[in-house]
Structure 1
Amino acid sequence: MAGGTRLASILLLSVFLFVRAQDDIREPPKILEPASAKELFYDGGVDVTLQCRASGQPTPLYEWYWNGAPIEPTNQAITYDPSTGLLTIQGLTTREEGFYNCRARNTFPNGLSAVAISHKIEVRRARIKPWTKDQDRTKTATEGNYVFITCGDTLPKYYGPTTFKWYTVEGEDDLLEVEEDKRVFIDNKGTLHFTYVLGTDEQSNRYYSCAMSNVVEGKLTLGGRTRLVVTKTASMSEVKPALQFSTKLAGDGALTFKRNTEGHLECFFSGYVNDPGNEVPTIKWLDNAGNTIVSGTDRYTIKGNGRVLTIASLVEADEKPFTCIANNAIGTAEGRMTLNVTSSPIWVKALQSITVPQGKDAVFHCEARSAASEVPPDPPRWFKNGYRLDMSYDPNKFEFANENRELRVKSAQKNTDIACFQCFVGNSVGEEFSDGCLNVILPIEVVAKPLPEQTIERGDIVNLTVVATSDKLYPVAYKWHFNNRTYEGVSAPPHVIYDVSTNLAYINTSDLTDEQMRDIRGVYRRQVYHEFESVFVDVDVDVDVILKVQEEPPLPVENAGPDVVVIAVLGAVGGILILVMLLVVLYKMKGIVH
């Protein structure tokens, strides 16, 4: 039975099988909320709550920062619960405005901590600052001609979504809203345009007044007043279209939009024909290939009677020329403008949380680029648990490469190197932030395995039992690979007796035919694995003798019973083996990392 094993030994091994509890469970924090940077606007005086939520083991505790500094416990207006991560601003005023971000910290049994940092949340009280009103003005125009009225020389600063409206006013309380239609349009900066002005647009004793309305606050703020004087004519002359206003004419800055925001292009044409229902020129938009843009397709929306083209979720490929064309019965005009898409640094490889088995290196990437044709970002700035990794870092533990875009943690150890890392990358447009944590787990350890080469004869037991332990956080799973097939779960190669609960695995050759004996020859590969590591144990099984059909008849049943003395000997040997195995277990457990 060279290399073979008797069934008694395999059964004794089943007493030994166990899963060793390797060390405590450690998992650095991962910020779940807020998941991205936010800009939030609230009505004044309301209570504001911000939630910070993170996973991790042990359960993380929370800290909140306001404008880069920790919020002190003595602050009565801004409070937070370190256990739940809930922050409350009581009765928001402009004093509590600013940037908030949270930190999630968990502390391990050895006293070391890992600290994850969230994106920033900008909190503002929605409002329109006081309007510095100009003196009352007068605007003159001839009936049938184009005219516009601006909101004034300087618009007030505002926070939160704000819309422009126009009213005709008399006194303080008599307001009539000016409705937009094919002839009348309010552009993105609040200017009121008349494609052609009518005598009825002059309203005696009433002024035109621009108004700003804050969506959140629900408050209307009126600006300066303008009296419109219209010189009437006996009959209006027909006029071919002419471009009077476009986003391009508002300045190059008006054509610049940030990536992932909405692009907003406007064209306004004058023109008039005496054709009821078609007095105003019709407008269409073309892309850089000359194709007509259809509203509702490919992120495009056309509104404002054709005067406004919006492009949702801008990408760099949207940086191209667009053309607006106006037509009426007597002519055509067009406007052409090139959209500029800019961006804060765009991630090529942002930090990602990493899990590695102890002793392996961990590599973090912080690589970003600017938008096409823009100046590249500055080199990244690195932090560990919120503290700058400057020139004082340990070169035996940390190594930077690729112009500081890559950080390597060497030979990571569970007891000392679990931590979170942050990087900041900036360019002329803005700054981006990324956070990722390193978790170190104990490696898979095979604690029981068979002989790698087993040459057997009929009647032997082929031992295929493999038992392994791993970090508690990631229990191991098992697979078989045999004769170009993979067996998972409770399945096993032919003739293998397998107990999935104990991992006891063997082949009893006593009852196999010659053909079956030939079938069991080969390499049995046992794969022990989890998400972050795989270990392989190979057992090469061969047959020792020339197989032939046995001619001797089997012994009678009554003579096949076990001898009492043999049972006693097996019992004694089994007891000794169990004792030896327990001593081995105790010895191995001394080496466990804490």
Structure 2
Amino acid sequence: MFKALPQWVRMINDTQMDSGEKLQWECKAIGRPRPTYRWIRNGLPLTSQGRVEIVNGELTINKVQQTDSGMYQCVAENKYGAIYSNAELKILASPPVFVPNPIRVIATLGKDVSLECKPRASPKPRITWKRGDRRVQPNKRIMVLRNNTLKIVNSSRADEGNYVCRAENQLGSAEMTAILWVKEAMRVVLSPSRVEVTVGESVVLSCKATHDTSLDVAFQWFFNQKPIDFQQEGSHFEYIQTVRAKQTSTVDLMIRSIFLKHAGKYGCRAQTSADTVFAEAELLVRGPPGPPGVVIVEEITDTTATLSWTRGLDNHSPISTYNLQARSPFSLGWQTVKTDPDPVTGDMESAMAVELSPWVEYEFRVVASNAIGTGDPSTPSRKVRTKEAVPAVAPSNVSGGNGRRHELVISWEDS
């Protein structure tokens, strides 16, 4: 039979607790024969009595006190030896202390507000709330949560004032004062809310916040939910400083020399010590069309190629025409080709390139135009070769039905 000294599977660790809490430690070991357990505190055997419960490797102390502090050992042993797991238990004890004190809370009219009460204390203190000299009586609108936070629902001007949280344990007591102000809700308007511009133009967005006169406002601009970096984007974006009136503050965002990439959602966030409000506007940018989709050669003859493609973005200006271009080993780059029909209008997605040369390898691409200008070309089609020239037959010197002679002349047409 296998025989072995015990080995730890689970050990105890140093622990720090508030007085009044419950300590639960467990140590576990394996060995042959199975080990037994005993507990030692400050060098003396520890047994179950009063608040202390010991069941093999499990130690429970209910409502720990300062006298429970010390060094603990769990001993696992069999006839081949003993092993020890050591840990220190520290019991914290301090009267309540608040940092900082007092606190100032600014709430928004009609919104919920929470006043926190979080003293440092051990054992955990008993908490009471007062307003002036009277204890706060919970009702449908005012309640004390489990974490001792005082919550006021649908706050009004009548809720303004001083609220006192008192914390008390057997070591002492302390009070914290929360000064509550209730202010009018801020309103923010971003104008224009939707604007269309053409590539190269400039536009100004104006963000106006109406707020309580006692509060300062901080603004931040966003583009597609991301903060605008005015240093990095300074050539296109300019932050125009705050204009402060009696109850309003206004900032402007200038967007100059606009590119297509500047289209999107622009947001203005206004923030006071009472609340935060976000407003958003949409900027549409008109520009030349985007590149059409993949060009496919549907059919090829000796002098024609039937092409199809998919529409690209019109960038808020309808596509008026398509231009078909071809490239071959004998051309100087891309050349516009004749088409059937001519012109190829913006509502079409296929056309035929005509008057091509026989037995030549071509690539094709399509370019879209609108009232703003001509966009980037599509990606080239796959390379295809036109077919060989078709022979033309002309009758000559061959006897016909009238008895005359005709000659059969065969020639090759080359476009």
Does TM-score exceed 0.5, indicating one fold?
no
In terms of fraction of residues, the more strand-rich structure is 2
State the TM-score, normalized to the length of structure 2: 0.41
Higher RCO structure (Cα 8 Å, ≥6 apart) = 1
Q: Which has the higher helix share?
A: 1
Which protein shows a greater Rg?
2
